[in-house]
Structure formats: C-alpha cells, structure tokens
Homo-oligomer: A and B are copies of this chain.
Amino acid sequence: MAQGGGGRTKVHVFRPVEPGDLALIRRHRMEMFRASGRDEAVLAQMDEPFGAWLAPRLASGDYFGWVGMTPSGEAIAGLGMMVIDWPPHPSHPTQSARGYILNVFVEPEHRGRGLARALMDLAMEEARRRGLDHLILHATPMGRPLYEALGWTQTSEMGLSLRVGG
C-alpha cells in the first residue's frame, strides 16, 4: 500500500528514518534547496547548523519520517515530519499542534516513479494515525503539482527577511 502507483514503483522499499540517517537527511535538505535554485553560499552556511539542530530531534523521534530505497537497499528518497506546537486555529480548533512535512527529496534519476507520492502517503497516513487535524509544508516548484493533486492548498503565509545583506 505504501508503495503508491503502478509499474516500477512497486519495487521500492520504505523504512522509518533512524539516527544514523543524519548525514543522508542533511544531504537531502541541501539537494532539495539546490534544485529549487537557492544560493550555494547560503546553503553552505545552513548545512552545519541544520545538522546540529537535527541530531537531537532525530535521536528523540521528534523528527521522524521515511527513507525510500531500491531493493538492494540504496537510499534514493526521503521525507521528514514533525509535530509542531501551534496555537489552536480554525483549521485545528481543539488542537495546539500541527503536522509539518519537510525535506521531501527524490534522487534525480529516480524521479517520476511515484516515490514522492508514496512518501507523502506514508506521512499523511501517519498524521491520521496520530489524530492530527492539520498539516503544513513549504512547496518547492517541483513538489507543488504533487501536493495539489493530493488536495493541499496554498495558505496565506507571508515572510520578511531581516538579514543584513540577505
């Protein structure tokens, strides 16, 4: 069921992320932002602090998710997830939390085979299992069509940079 669509997709295997996936998830995050055109110098600044942020959360299970693999066990895709504290809101009026999906990545040569879809299905299934009323993510241009096909819609979030020189 978790394997998603038809054809070659069926051969993929999915397992939960583990503390030993720290370097893999760091790489996925870098490659994801790189593919969306982010500045290399900024990504280089981000990588180490992201690893420091991730390590304890991966160890505690506060950061969870799945790795997609070939039958021979090569990691070729990943998705991360967190349950974040959030004030009760019309989208989740009795819950002070929302699910957040991040670091969705598929190796370029394995794209178009349903891996991202299968990872999203796992995440949404896990969110339902945890009883979460509302999920959010930030879409790269590459990911947006899939999320729209799965029923996700644009929110009203706005951002402001205060970085000096940023």
Contact = CB atoms under 8 A, between A and B. Distances in A.
Interface of A: 29, 33, 38-39, 42-43, 45-46, 49-50, 52-54, 84-85, 87-96, 102, 124, 127-128, 132-140, 144, 147, 150-163, 166
Contact of A94 (B45, B54, B138): B45
A98 to B, nearest CB: 8
Contact of A158 (B29, B92, B137): B137
Contacts of A96: 49, 52-53
Contacts of A91: 159, 161, 163, 166
Contacts of A50: 87-88
Contacts of A84: 84-85
Residue from A87, A135, A163 whose CB has the most chain B CB atoms within 10 Å: A87
A42 B138 contact: no
A160 B135 contact: yes
A85 to B, nearest CB: 8
Given A39-B90, A50-B87, A53-B88, A155 B147 contact: no
